[in-house]
A and B are shown apart, each in its own frame.
Chain A
Amino acid sequence: MFMRNAVSIFVTAAGVVALNVASIGLAAEAPANPVALGSAISEAQLADWDLIVAPDGQNLPEGSGTAAQGQAVYQQQCAACHGAAGEGASGSPALVGGSVSTTPPLLTVGSYWPHASTLFDYVRRAMPPTAPKSLSNTEVYQVTAYVLHLHGVIAEDFVLDKNTLPAVQMPNREGFTDVSGN
């Protein structure tokens, strides 16, 4: 590093040209991004930390579950708020049934959500509200299958796993228009 005189010229509001000379230190070849403090980390290190499951299902974990297996998980973890059959209650949304075209519409996982991946993703990261992230991946597969089955999206013995989940067709899959322009 060496010292260099930086000279700038600017015009004041009164129209007077002024010179500003300052002695500052400049790197001989400044990098485009002078501060680079990020520490390298590998995707393998993030395997248990990255919970994002998009519709492509690429980040779905190992494990599997069926609706039949999920019923017990649902009754234990979900039913107190969402109702014994997913009908919802005050303060907790219905999960199944309903329609976008009734007056008023009833927007549920079954009638509204366009992707099954969202149900897996949301349950794993945020449910149950009193103890988020307390369910095992297997339990998340099971209870996801159960909710989808309650709405008739999949059969009771359908095995939900990282291969089958992305292919599940939600009833309202074509109900959304992406207006992001992206």
Chain B
Amino acid sequence: MDSKHNPEYVAGNGLIHRRHLLGLGLAGIGSIAAGSALGADTGMLSIPAWSKTPGNGPSDYGAPSPFAADVKRLAGGPSATAPGSGVSRTPLHLLRGTITPNSLHFERHHSGVPVIDPAQHRFVIHGLVRQALSFSYEDLLAYPMVSQIYFLECSGNSGANTVATAGDTNAAAIHGLLSCAEWTGVRLSTLLAEAGVTDTAAWITATGADAASMGRSIPLSKALDDVIIALYQNGEPIRPEQGYPMRLFVPGWEGNVSVKWLTQIKVADAPAHFRDETSKYTDLLPDGKSLQFTYPMGVKSVITSPSGQMKLLRQGIHEITGVAWSGHGAIRRVEISADSGRTWADAHIEAGQQHLALARFRLPWQWSGAPAILQSRATDSRNNVQPGRDIWMAGYNPANRYHYNAIQSWSVSAQGDVKNVYA
């Protein structure tokens, strides 16, 4: 069979082999796409007005096209009782790569975004060290730095899908407490070595300079492994809402431990049991017990297109695409189902840094106009497989909203309406 002109179906309900994405592009299956092609572009093509008059000159800081003005975070309203507290979510369904632009990185603040003068900011390492040390922002800028691409995900991300009835919302509203950026900064191990961690040390306890002085405890072994004090985000100084002038960045772990506006690391022999590692960010089990210090984010994926509240306007070929990630390592495999999990096909995963970063996946799909349930299932380099919702829910108390990493199901109706469903 000539695969140039006949799609190779590899799973039920119209999923097509990923090789059709490689080199051929969707043009390779034009014979079936033609049947649903948009109407012919009739009439004479004229030269548009913007080709006849000079545009604006250079600017000191760029901004999106006014025609892309809807690509914005989904920001909640102000808190009536806790000023500055709240979240904004990355518009995952409006983005198509793996890097989150700085203006669209998700936010979670516990007492607002402080305005910090870096000249007056101090970062102190003390506690179980031979010599307590204070660092200025200028000091840190002089240290050797590393640059790595890492995802950051709030522990409460996707918690909306733990409730009894699936909400009719979009990918940002459900999964948008997830972003990915290149973070540049100083290895924490470098600074801990300078202070001289003592033999009894086993944890670091870190706090920020925000009004909540938000704090978290982290095992010393992780602190000495890959944790950095991030000073740059996608190449520019980190944004105020991400911790300017400096934040802790703890790769692969729940976002809350990457303490923003970092001002204190107290080396200790035990965790501090801060409010945000006891009252919050602990995972309630069916028997009323709780798991504490559940740091790594589980293997997970979500189809971002087609996704909730989108509408398919034509039958024929659509690219199913989304992102996958794991706090345990790299993404090794993403499978797609269009028939509610009965059959699965391997998606193409874009090359690039995969370790603790977002991976972009794609697969062509022939939509016949029949109802479908679209799902993605990720497997990481430690062979962790993303669970189904029923399996995940059975492991926790129904009230738990943290560390939800179950398979997302999007239903497509005969009319092309895409909805969040439990399947």
Contacts and interface: CB of A to CB of B under 8 A. Distances in A.
A155 interface: no
Given A40-B132, A107-B284, A176-B290, A132 B270 contact: no
Nearest to A56: B270
Interface residue tally on A, bucketed by range? 35 or more
Interface string B52-90: 000000000000000000000000000111110100000
Interface string A93-130: 00000011101110101001111011001100110011
A55 B134 contact: no
A175 B270 CA distance: 18
Most buried by B among A32, A42, A129, A130: A129
A35 B205 CA distance: 24
B215 interface: yes
A112 B79 CA distance: 24
Contacts of A92: 81-82
B275 A118 contact: yes
A51 B213 contact: yes
A54 B266 CA distance: 11
Contact of B111 (A37, A56, A117, A132): A132
A50 to B, nearest CB: 7
Given A33-B190, A38-B139, A179 B275 contact: no
B348 interface: no
Given A179-B291, A182-B202, A54 B279 contact: no
A138 B194 CA distance: 37
B212 A132 contact: yes
A109 B191 CA distance: 36
Contacts, number: 165
A51 B291 CA distance: 26
A41 interface: yes
A91 interface: yes
A43 B129 CA distance: 11
A180 interface: yes
Given A37-B139, A104-B399, A109 B279 contact: yes
B275 A40 contact: no
A29 interface: no
A102 to B, nearest CB: 9
A121 B279 CA distance: 12
B397 interface: yes
Nearest to B110: A126
Interface residue tally on B, bucketed by range? 35 or more
Contacts of A175: 288-290
Interface SS majority for chain A: loop
A46 B211 contact: no
Nearest to A101: B288
Interface in B130-146: 131-135, 139, 142-144
A86 to B, nearest CB: 14
B293 A43 contact: no
Interface string A138-182: 000000000000000000000000000000000000011111111
A100 B80 CA distance: 27
B247 to A, nearest CB: 18
B93 interface: no
Contacts of B207: 51-52, 125
B314 interface: no
Contact of A54 (B194, B211, B268, B289): B268
A92 B191 CA distance: 39
B134 A39 contact: yes
B111 A129 contact: yes
A42 B284 contact: no
Contacts of B224: none
A85 interface: no
Interface in A54-79: 54-56
B213 A91 contact: no
Given A107-B284, A126-B110, 9 more contacts: A33-B190, A35-B143, A38-B191, A39-B135, A41-B132, A121-B275, A125-B215, A176-B292, A179-B292
Interface of A: 32-43, 46, 49-56, 81, 91-92, 99-101, 103-105, 107, 109, 112-115, 117-118, 121-122, 125-126, 129-130, 132-133, 175-182
28 contacts: A33-B194, A35-B190, A39-B133, A40-B131, A41-B124, A41-B133, A52-B215, A52-B272, A54-B270, A54-B271, A54-B272, A81-B81, A91-B80, A91-B81, A100-B288, A100-B289, A104-B398, A112-B290, A117-B273, A118-B274, A118-B278, A126-B110, A126-B211, A129-B81, A176-B292, A179-B293, A179-B294, A182-B221
